Chains A and B, each alone.
Chain A
């Protein structure tokens, strides 16, 4: 990784600590789910959704990595595609936790759905800002 890429990741971590660390956490959870399958979460073990857990893992892990590549390369489209994948993975995880554990999954489920909503809103906001900047440029 080149020095500017590391610097960009560092600045992103400094300036948007919450979003960056949540994406990192999503990536770790994603890899965990890809390796462990439904044992990654009690909820998925109860539901018995090994395939769904791995699908969620694939979405979270690939989304997280793509987001970081987007940040390091300073390429907004790549970063946003990654965020969309993270958002979808978080939705599946949040829904799975709430469906599988019912009220016991309230805390983790709400956090995950919050991450899903936050990522989706960021994608919509940045796409809207980009459109306006494009119009100004034209």
Chain B
């Protein structure tokens, strides 16, 4: 093998870095897919909750609906799905904010306590120095 052909098969550093990133991305992809497959029954529950077609609920009555009414019902189904999802997302945000609020309250209480101790120490030092 002559040096030229060795140079031809040698990858550039950029190519090597991108290959490493791609392999890592492939690993992430597999992890994500496994994660989704593990939750497939939960995702099916999401489909059931969000896509119960209103037209099915109306059954035979659906035949009597006009095209516009059917379109309105289908639109309502999609909006209902979005509403359920957004409600859940907001609920999660509220829970997270509440947890953060509790943490901050604890920190504030701790800092207030430290300020009180520092003030007492300053007072004692001033008394010792004859300033008070």
Contacts and interface: CB of A to CB of B under 8 A. Distances in A.
Contacts of A42: none
A134 B29 contact: no
B29 A76 contact: no
B18 A130 contact: no
Contacts of A4: 74
A52 B22 CA distance: 8
B98 interface: no
Name the interface size band of chain B: 35 or more
Contact of A130 (B22, B46, B89, B92): B46
Binding site secondary structure of chain A: helix
Name the interface size band of chain A: 35 or more
B22 A132 contact: no
A18 to B, nearest CB: 14
Contacts of A92: 18, 21-22, 25
Interface of B: 12, 14-15, 17-19, 21-22, 25-26, 28-29, 32-33, 35-36, 39-51, 71, 74-75, 78, 82, 84-85, 88-89, 92
Closest 10 CB pairs of A and B: A134-B42, A130-B46, A134-B45, A130-B42, A88-B29, A84-B32, A77-B43, A95-B21, A129-B88, A11-B78
